[in-house]
Chain A
Amino acid sequence: MSESKAATSQVQVEQKIYEMPPKDGMTIAHFITVADVARSLRFYETVFGGRVESRGDSKGAPGYIQIANTWLIVNVGGGPTPDKPTVTLSVPPDPDKVSSFMNFRVADIQACYKLWRSRGAEFITEPKPKYGETRCYIRDPDGYIIEVGQSNPGITYG
Chain B
Amino acid sequence: MNEVHVGQKTYQMPPPDGFSVAHFITVADVERSARFYEKVFGGRIMTMGNNVGAPGFIQIANTWLIVYFGGGPTPDKPTVTLSVPTDPDSVSSFMNIRVADIHACYELWRSRGAEFLTEPKEKYGETRCYIRDPDGYIIEVGQSKPDFAYG
Interchain CB contact (< 8 A) of B76 among A56, A99, A108, A135:
A135
- Interface size range of chain A in the complex: 35 or more
Chain B proximity mask over A105-147: 1 for CB below 8 Å, otherwise 0: 1111000100000000000110110111001110000001101
Q: Which residues of B contact A93 (CB under 8 A)?
A: 90, 92
Q: Is the CB–CB distance between A18 and B4 below 8 Å?
A: yes
Interchain CB contact (< 8 A) of A89 among B75, B91, B120, B123:
B91
Interchain CB contact (< 8 A) of B74 among A28, A70, A127, A130:
A130
For residue A12, CB closer than 8 A to chain B, the reply is: no
- Interface size range of chain B in the complex: 35 or more
Q: Which among B7, B78, B121 has the highest number of chain A CB atoms within 10 Å?
A: B7
Q: Is the CB–CB distance between A98 and B80 below 8 Å?
A: yes
Q: Which of A55-112 contact B (CB under 8 A)?
A: 56, 59-62, 64, 66-71, 73, 77, 81-93, 95-108, 112
Chain A proximity mask over B47-91: 1 for CB below 8 Å, otherwise 0: 101001111010011111010001000111111111111101111
Q: Which residues of A contact B113 (CB under 8 A)?
A: none
Q: Is the CB–CB distance between B151 and A130 below 8 Å?
A: no
Chain B residue at minimum C-beta to C-beta distance from A15: B5
Q: Is the CB–CB distance between B19 and A112 below 8 Å?
A: yes
Q: Is the CB–CB distance between B93 and A84 below 8 Å?
A: no
Q: Is the CB–CB distance between A98 and B81 below 8 Å?
A: yes
Q: Which residues of B contact A84 (CB under 8 A)?
A: 117-118, 130, 138
Q: Is the CB–CB distance between B149 and A96 below 8 Å?
A: no
Chain B residue at minimum C-beta to C-beta distance from A125: B76
Q: Is the CB–CB distance between B76 and A3 below 8 Å?
A: no
Q: Which residues of B contact A135 (CB under 8 A)?
A: 76
Q: Which residues of A contact B55 (CB under 8 A)?
A: 157
For residue A38, CB closer than 8 A to chain B, the reply is: no
CA distance A84 to B150 in the complex (A): 20
Q: Is the CB–CB distance between A67 and B21 below 8 Å?
A: yes
Beyond contacts A28-B23, A69-B21: 20 other A-B pairs, Cβ-Cβ < 8 A, are A7-B3, A14-B5, A19-B6, A20-B150, A21-B100, A22-B99, A30-B95, A68-B19, A70-B62, A86-B117, A90-B90, A96-B79, A97-B86, A99-B25, A99-B82, A99-B85, A104-B21, A124-B78, A128-B76, A157-B14
Chain B residues at the A interface, C-beta cutoff of 8 Å: 1, 3-7, 9, 11, 13-26, 41, 46-47, 49, 52-55, 57, 60-64, 66, 70, 74-86, 88-101, 105, 117-118, 120-121, 123-125, 128-130, 137-138, 140, 143-144, 148-151
Chain A residues at the B interface, C-beta cutoff of 8 Å: 3, 6-7, 10, 14-33, 48, 53-54, 56, 59-62, 64, 66-71, 73, 77, 81-93, 95-108, 112, 124-125, 127-128, 130-132, 135-137, 144-145, 147, 150-151, 155-158
Closest 5 CB pairs of A and B: A131-B53, A18-B62, A54-B150, A69-B11, A6-B1
